[in-house]
Amino acid sequence: EPEVTQTPSHQVTQMGQEVILRCVPISNHLYFYWYRQILGQKVEFLVSFYNNEISEKSEIFDDQFSVERPDGSNFTLKIRSTKLEDSAMYFCASSDTRGLGGYTFGSGTRLTVV
């Protein structure tokens, strides 16, 4: 079964450093998403991406965040200057139909900011 692949599985970074989280969505999917989950809490929407541009973003997705699809397969989330409160599990998801029929989530990157 097709999978969404995320790397790294765990990233530890110092406060103020930049991190890039990487995702390889399912190859025939057109809609891509980043969600985050602070430990033990709900899954929070960050951003959706379609046709090489952001289609929607949440209040969490401020100027320190950016997304990119640098080639035909990767989808990245960059956090420019990490803060302690950015520590969370970051999930990438993809869909072929705007989420109708379900998202396929990757296994996540656990980001720890120290």
Partner 1 sequence: GQQVMQIPQYQHVQEGEDFTTYCNSSTTLSNIQWYKQRPGGHPVFLIQLVKSGEVKKQKRLTFQFGEAKKNSSLHITATQTTDVGTYFCAGLEDNFNKFYFGSGTKLNVKP
Residues lying near partner 1 in the complex (CB under 8 A) are found at: 33, 35, 41-45, 48, 50, 55-56, 91, 98-108
- Measured distance CA(30)–CA(106) in Å, rounded: 15
Q: Is residue 91 within a helix (H) or strand (E), and if so which, with residue range?
A: strand 88-95
Nearer to partner 1 by Cβ, of 9 and 17: the residue is: 9
Cβ at position 54, least distance to partner 1 in Å? 10
The Cα-based distances of 109 to 22, 28, 53, 98 in angstroms read 9, 23, 23, 23
Nearest CB to partner 1, comparing residues 62 and 71: 62
> Considering the complex, what minimum distance in angstroms separates the CB of residue 21 from partner 1?
14
